[in-house]
Each structure stands twice: as structure tokens, then as C-alpha cells.
Amino acid sequence: MRNPLRSEGEMFRLVGVVVVAAVLIFFGAWINTWVGVAVAVLAVAALVWWLMQEPVPGAADPAPRLASGTPAGTHRVLVVAAPGTSSVAVPDRATDVVVVVPALASATEALTGAVDDRRADAERTSLALARALSRDGRNVRGEVGADDPVLAVEDTLRTFGADEVLVVGDEAIADAIRARVAVPVTRA
Amino acid sequence: MVAHAEAHLDHHGEHPPEPHYSSRISPSILGMYLFIGSEIMLFGAFFTAYFFVRVVNGTPWPTPPFHLPVYLAFLNTCILVTSSFTMHWSLQSVKRNNPWGLRAGLLLTFLMGLTFLITQVAEYLRIGFNTSDGSFPTIFFCLTGLHGCHVFVGLTILLFMTIRAFRGHFDAEHHHGVEIGGIYWHFVDLMWILVFLTVYVL
């Protein structure tokens, strides 16, 4: 559905369409009030149908891939793991690691905002993985991410430049992340 | 929204990250959406009252012996719709780096909005009924008055936009203030068309 409030231009376009509808309603009401009401109902239905049919501007364009950089002499790894993951191995050359665990919630939980338990699960996992990885002397921190693994990676890459992304999960998630970030993505 | 388990990392050599919004909508646009959403609910409450008075209770509209100045309201509608065109022209002008088009567009929009409001006040003074004359006048003044308040707010926004335009605050790259104000002005225009159709035409 095309969002008519997206910009001033879109809003102006909507004004134009509504003016045309208003003229039709005006003439309908000239004949009889109920004819005007009928025209108004039809106009609203047509307007909704039109907005539903309209393509969203830019929706067909591929989303820009997020690039990331790191300081010289470091090798930074961003690990994305599902809640409950017990262990993960990172490359030996990794100097800095961030473990991000998405707070995966069901649709009902997300809609009702009942995500506290899911966030607590994610935090427990991120703490455990961060502790395990920091034993090798690396700089490690754990984070709770968004409920979408791709978004969680995007969010983290904005504050943590990474040389690679390590996915503890299935290939589909890795592919989705590859489509959105310009950083090597591998599966653990 | 980030829980740090262990923070040992330093960010030496990194530039500050650019702002990131997970919703992928800029905060100002989102704010305008929420504002317009609340406005729709506010107008919706008054339209519901209109529906109950006119349809459920079957109150004649307008209740005899009163008459609504449809012609005057139609002229006012034309003025407000035209102001949407000048608003759009002003934004197109600034996008093409035409500051005088922007200024002229905003000034015309402001003047037309002011004309609309003055005409509405004049209409109130001569309409011949008051809120104490029954449910029809009450709803009439509530709906048109609520919209008039929005026009006043829109005019205030337009005034600031116009002053800023004359001071050269906007250019082809930086005109967010005009964009946001334009969305609001078109919204006010749309609401008037709805009010005009329901109160004066149907």
C-alpha cells in the first residue's frame, strides 16, 4: 500500500484525488443527499483500492548494503547467535568480538510488548557466550539485539565496525544478512 | 535497548556512527504521522457526534429556520484548495533552488489561509444562530470551529516558515521544515473538504 502521508508531494497528490472525489460527491448531493452519500461511499472505497494498488516508491529497489570499517591492526568479529546457544568458536585472529543475541519473540509477544522474558533469555545467552569467549584474552561484549537477526546485525554494525559476521544459525539467516551488509558473512 | 554484558572494547580510530533508526522512518516524519493520527481521532469524535445527531436522532440539517451559507463556504473551499497548490509550488521551487518561488508560494499560502479564517469568522458573525439554538448549531460550530483552530495553527506554522524562507534558511538540500509544514497544511485542507462535504453539502 502506498503511504499518502509519506511526503508533501504524496499528500498533495492525495489532495488532488480527494478534490476530484469531492466534486463527484457534490454533484451527487445536488441530485439527492442519499445519492451524494452513495457517491461518497464509492469514492472512499475507490480511494482505498487505489492506495492499495499503488506501488510503494522504491520498494522494488534493492536495499542499500551497510558497509563497515575497522581500525588497522584489529580484526573484529560480530557474532549473531540465537537465544540458547551454548558455545561458539571465533577465528584465532579475532581481537574484538561482539556477541549479539536477537530477542526473538512471537508475533503475539511482539504485539503485546510482552518481550521481557525473551530479552532476558537473550541477555543470558549473550552473557554466557561473552564470558566464554573473553577467556582467550579478547575484548568481548554481549548485546541483546532486535527481534529480527538481520536488523540486530545492522544495528550493531552501526556502533561496532566489524571485519566479518559470524552467524550461529541456518543458511537462510546468513543469506538474509549477506543481502543487507557489505561485510563477509560466514556460518559458525 | 542494548544490554552490555561485558564492555572492554574501546573505539579508537572510529568515527561517530551516523544516526540509525530501526523503524526506518525519520523521527520528524514519524512525529507528524502520530500527530495526524491523533488529529484524525479528534475529528473522528466530532464526526461521530455529527452522525448521531443527524442520522441516529434524525435532526433536520440544517434545522429550520436556519440556513447554511453554502456559497460562501464553497468560495472558502476554493481558497483553501488553491492554497494547497501554492504550498506545493513553494516546495517545488525550493527543490529547484528558486528562493523567490518558495517565498512567493509560502506568502500566498499564508494569505489564502488568513483569508479563509477571516471569512469563517465573518460567516460566524452573520450566520444567525448560536450554540444555544440546538444540536445542529452546536455540531456545526464544533466541527467548523475545530477545523478553524487547525487553520490557525497551520497559519502559525506558515508564518514561521515564511519568515525563515525570507531569511534564507531553506535551500534545495535543506527544506525539511517546509516539507513537514506542507504535509500539515494539506492535511488541514483535506479535513476541510471532509467538513465541507458533510456539514454543507450532504
Q: For residue B9, list chain A residues with Cβ-Cβ distance below 8 A.
A: 96, 98, 139, 141, 160
Q: For residue B22, list chain A residues with Cβ-Cβ distance below 8 A.
A: 146, 151, 155
Which residue of A10, A14, A15 is the best one to mutate when testing the B interface, meaning the one whose CB has the most B CBs within 10 A? A15
Q: Do B17 and A14 touch (CB under 8 A)?
A: no
pLDDT of A69 higher than 80: no
Give this complex's ipTM: 0.78
pLDDT in tens, B62-113: 888 888 888 999 999 999 999 999 999 999 999 999 999 999 999 999 999 9
CATH architecture of the region A76-187:
3-Layer(aba) Sandwich (3.40)
B142 touches chain A (CB under 8 A): no
Q: Do A25 and B197 touch (CB under 8 A)?
A: yes
**How many residues are given for chain B?**
202
Q: Are A169 and A152 in contact (CB under 8 A)?
A: no
For residue A138, give the DSSP letter. Answer: -
Question: Nearest Cα to A154, choosing from A180, A126, A187?
Answer: A180
pLDDT, mean over chain A: 87
* Min distance B145 CA to chain A CA atoms (Å): 21
Q: Do A143 and B36 touch (CB under 8 A)?
A: no
* Min distance A132 CA to chain B CA atoms (Å): 11
Q: Do B183 and A98 touch (CB under 8 A)?
A: no
Query: What is the C-alpha separation between B123 and B144, in angstroms, rounded?
Result: 11
Residues in B 163-182 with any Cβ partner in A closer than 8 A: 178-179, 182
Query: What is the C-alpha separation between A59 and A69, in angstroms, rounded?
Result: 28
Neighbours of A175 (CB within 10 A): 12
A185-187 and A96-102: which strand pairing? unpaired
Give the DSSP letter string of B42-76. Answer: HHHHHHHHHHIIIIIS---SSPTT----HHHHHHH
Write down the pLDDT at residue B24. Answer: 53
Task: Give me the residue label for grid cell 501554492.
Answer: B86
Mean pLDDT of A91-100: 90
* Min distance A119 CA to chain B CA atoms (Å): 9
pLDDT in tens, A97-125: 999 999 988 888 877 878 889 999 999 99
Write down the pLDDT at residue A38. Answer: 92
Selected from 3.40.50.300, 1.20.120.80, 3.30.70.20, 2.60.40.420, the CATH number assigned to the domain covering B27-61+69-201 reads 1.20.120.80
A81: β partners? A168
Mean pLDDT of B57-62: 84
pLDDT of B40 higher than 90: no
Task: Give me the residue label for grid cell 488532488.
Answer: A16
**Cut 0.80: pTM above it:** no
- Percent above pLDDT 90 for chain A: 30
Q: For residue A6, list chain B residues with Cβ-Cβ distance below 8 A.
A: 29
Helix axes A8-31, B176-195, angle to 10 degrees: 10
Compute CA distances A82 → A105, A125, A129, B4, B171, whole Å. Answer: 11, 8, 11, 17, 47
**Phi and psi for A187 in degrees, rounded to 5?**
-95, 135
pLDDT in tens, B144-186: 999 999 999 999 999 999 999 999 898 888 888 899 899 999 9
In the structure grid, which three cell numbers stand for residue B90, read together? 513553494
* Nearest residue in chain B measured CA to CA from A6: B29
Phi/psi-derived region of residue B168, left when phi > 0, alpha when psi is between -120 and 50, beta in every other case = left
Q: Do B183 and A11 touch (CB under 8 A)?
A: yes
Compute CA distances A118 → A105, A152, B136, whole Å. Answer: 6, 14, 54
pLDDT grade for A3, boundaries at 50, 70 and 90: confident
For residue A116, give the DSSP letter. Answer: H
Q: For residue A72, list chain B residues with Cβ-Cβ distance below 8 A.
A: 13
B49 touches chain A (CB under 8 A): no
Q: Do B193 and A5 touch (CB under 8 A)?
A: no
A142: β partners? A99
Torsion of CA A4, B118, B115, B97, to 10 degrees: -60
Assign 3-state DSSP to chain B and report helix, strand, coil percentages, each to 5.
70, 0, 30
Mean pLDDT of A117-145: 90
* Nearest residue in chain B measured CA to CA from A9: B88
Helix axes B135-166, B27-51, angle to 10 degrees: 160
pLDDT grade for B12, boundaries at 50, 70 and 90: very low
Write down the pLDDT at residue B177. Answer: 87
Write down the pLDDT at residue B3. Answer: 41
* Nearest residue in chain A measured CA to CA from B7: A141
pLDDT grade for A58, boundaries at 50, 70 and 90: low
Domain boundaries, given as residue ranges, for chain B: 27-61+69-201
